A and B are shown apart, each in its own frame.
Chain A
Amino acid sequence: MNPLIFTTILMTVLLGTMIVMMSSHWLMIWIGFEMNLLAIIPILMKKYNPRTMEASTKYFLTQATASMLLMMAIIINLMHSGQWTITKVFNPTASIIMTSALAMKLGLTPFHFWVPEVTQGISLTSGLILLTWQKLAPMSILYQISPSINLNILLTMAVLSILVGGWGGLNQTQLRKIMAYSSIAHMGWMTAVLAYNPTLTMLNMLIYIMMTLTMFMLFIHSSSTTTLSLSHTWNKTPLTTTLILITLLSMGGLPPLSGFMPKWMIIQELTKNNSIILPTLMAIMALLNLYFYMRLTYSTSLTMFPSTNNMKMKWQFETKRITFLPPLIVMSSLLLPLTPMLSILD
Chain B
Amino acid sequence: MMTYIVFILSVIFVVSFVGFSSKPSPIYGGLVLIVSGGVGCGIIMNFGGSFLGLMVFLIYLGGMLVVFGYTTAMATEQYPEVWVSNTTVMGVFLLGLLMEVMLVLYVLKSEEVGVVFKFSSVGHWAIYDTGDSGVFSEEIMGVAALYSYGAWVVIVTGWSLLVGVLVILEVTRGD
Question: Taking the complex as formed, is B163 at the interface, i.e. its CB lies under 8 A from any CB of chain A?
Answer: yes
Closest to A25 in B: B153
Closest to B164 in A: A38
Residue interface mask A1-40, B partner, CB < 8 A = 1: 1000100110010010001000000011001101100110
Residue interface mask B152-167, A partner, CB < 8 A = 1: 1100110110011011
Q: Which of B152, B166, B174 has the most CB of A within 10 A?
A: B166
Question: Taking the complex as formed, is B117 at the interface, i.e. its CB lies under 8 A from any CB of chain A?
Answer: yes
Question: Taking the complex as formed, is A76 at the interface, i.e. its CB lies under 8 A from any CB of chain B?
Answer: yes
**A34 contacts B163, C-beta separation under 8 Å:** no
**B156 contacts A28, C-beta separation under 8 Å:** yes
Q: Which of B152, B153, B175 contacts A48 (CB 8 A)?
A: B175
**B164 contacts A1, C-beta separation under 8 Å:** no
**B174 contacts A12, C-beta separation under 8 Å:** no
Question: Taking the complex as formed, is A41 at the interface, i.e. its CB lies under 8 A from any CB of chain B?
Answer: yes
**Known A76-B116, A93-B116: A9·B156 in contact at CB below 8 Å:** no
Q: Which of A38, A45, A76, A79 contacts B163 (CB 8 A)?
A: A38
Q: Which residues of B contact A295 (CB under 8 A)?
A: none
Question: Taking the complex as formed, is A314 at the interface, i.e. its CB lies under 8 A from any CB of chain B?
Answer: no
Measured CA separation A5–B170 after assembly (Å): 9
Question: Taking the complex as formed, is B135 at the interface, i.e. its CB lies under 8 A from any CB of chain A?
Answer: no
**Known A5-B170, A41-B171, A42-B170: A31·B163 in contact at CB below 8 Å:** no
Question: How far apart are B84's CB and chain A's nearest CB, in angstroms?
Answer: 28
Q: Which residues of B contact A79 (CB under 8 A)?
A: 117
Q: Which of B156, B159, B167 has the most CB of A within 10 A?
A: B167
**Known A28-B153, A38-B160, A48-B174: A76·B167 in contact at CB below 8 Å:** no
**B116 contacts A15, C-beta separation under 8 Å:** no
Residue interface mask A227-241, B partner, CB < 8 A = 1: 000000000000000
**Known A19-B156, A31-B157, A31-B160: A5·B166 in contact at CB below 8 Å:** yes
Q: Which residues of A contact B160 (CB under 8 A)?
A: 31, 34-35, 38
Q: Which residues of A contact B116 (CB under 8 A)?
A: 76, 93
Q: Which residues of B contact A39 (CB under 8 A)?
A: 163, 167
**A9 contacts B175, C-beta separation under 8 Å:** no
**B163 contacts A9, C-beta separation under 8 Å:** yes
**A35 contacts B170, C-beta separation under 8 Å:** no
**A9 contacts B117, C-beta separation under 8 Å:** no
Measured CA separation A38–B160 after assembly (Å): 8
Question: How far apart are B152's CB and chain A's nearest CB, in angstroms?
Answer: 8
Of residues 305 through 320 on chain A, the ones whose CB sits less than 8 Å from some CB of chain B are none
**Known A28-B153, A31-B157, A35-B156: A8·B171 in contact at CB below 8 Å:** no
Of residues 110 through 169 on chain B, the ones whose CB sits less than 8 Å from some CB of chain A are 116-117, 152-153, 156-157, 159-160, 163-164, 166-167
Question: Taking the complex as formed, is A88 at the interface, i.e. its CB lies under 8 A from any CB of chain B?
Answer: no
**A15 contacts B175, C-beta separation under 8 Å:** no
Q: Which residues of B contact A41 (CB under 8 A)?
A: 167, 171
Measured CA separation A12–B167 after assembly (Å): 11
Q: Which residues of B contact A45 (CB under 8 A)?
A: 171
Q: Which residues of B contact A31 (CB under 8 A)?
A: 153, 156-157, 160
Measured CA separation A80–B157 after assembly (Å): 27
**B153 contacts A9, C-beta separation under 8 Å:** no
Q: Which residues of A contact B175 (CB under 8 A)?
A: 48
Residue interface mask A73-96, B partner, CB < 8 A = 1: 000100110000000000001000
Which 5 pairs of residues, A with B, have the shortest CB-CB distance?
A42-B170, A12-B163, A48-B175, A35-B160, A42-B167
Please give 9 more A-B residue pairs, beta carbons under 8 A apart, in addition to A5-B166, A9-B163, A9-B167: A12-B163, A19-B156, A31-B153, A31-B157, A31-B160, A35-B156, A41-B167, A42-B170, A42-B171
In the assembled complex, 5 residue pairs joining A and B whose CB atoms fall closer than 8 Å, in A order, are A19-B156, A35-B156, A38-B167, A39-B163, A41-B167
